[in-house]
Amino acid sequence: MHPFSQLEPTLSRNEPRIYLDHAATTPMRPEAVAAVMEGMARWANPSSPHAEGRAARAALEDARRRIAQALDWPHHVILTSGASESASLALRGRPGIGVAAVEHDAVLRAADRPVMLDVDAGGIVRPEGRDWTALQSA
């Protein structure tokens, strides 16, 4: 049995279903599930000096290297626990950040004195006419 099969919805298999909450989370591809399950075997703290910690550190650094290579990014890859931590890391302490009025609460909390951007009826952010000093988030 698949480890996440208990999380599957109990809808009839004959009902068509369209998942519309990809902004919050997206179902994982089977290859990604397999990689996560393999990674769970390296449960140790990657900052620990013992053999298990060193193995976890090696796996973590290999993941960083592979991500950087896939993105053609020559710089250090920073891995976070999720969107809220990423938003905080990118935005904290930066003044003059344009934030869409419909942005996630984590972005609104992380931005220091955010400049609120209007969103039109079609959901399009309209930053025109703003004097940007740092970053736009939409």
Q: Is the pTM of this model over 0.75?
A: no
Which three-class secondary structure state does DSSP give residue 26?
coil
pLDDT, position 86: 86
Torsional sign, CA 81, 106, 24, 7: positive
Q: Is residue 27 part of a domain?
A: yes
Q: Is residue 89 part of a domain?
A: yes
pLDDT, position 126: 75
Taking residues 14-24, what's their average pLDDT?
78
Q: What residues make up the domain containing 67?
A: 14-71
User: What strand order describes the sheet that includes 115-117?
Assistant: 115-117, 97-100, 135-137
Number of domains in the chain: 2
Q: Is residue 78 part of a domain?
A: no
pLDDT tens-digit readout, 71-80 = 998 888 999 8
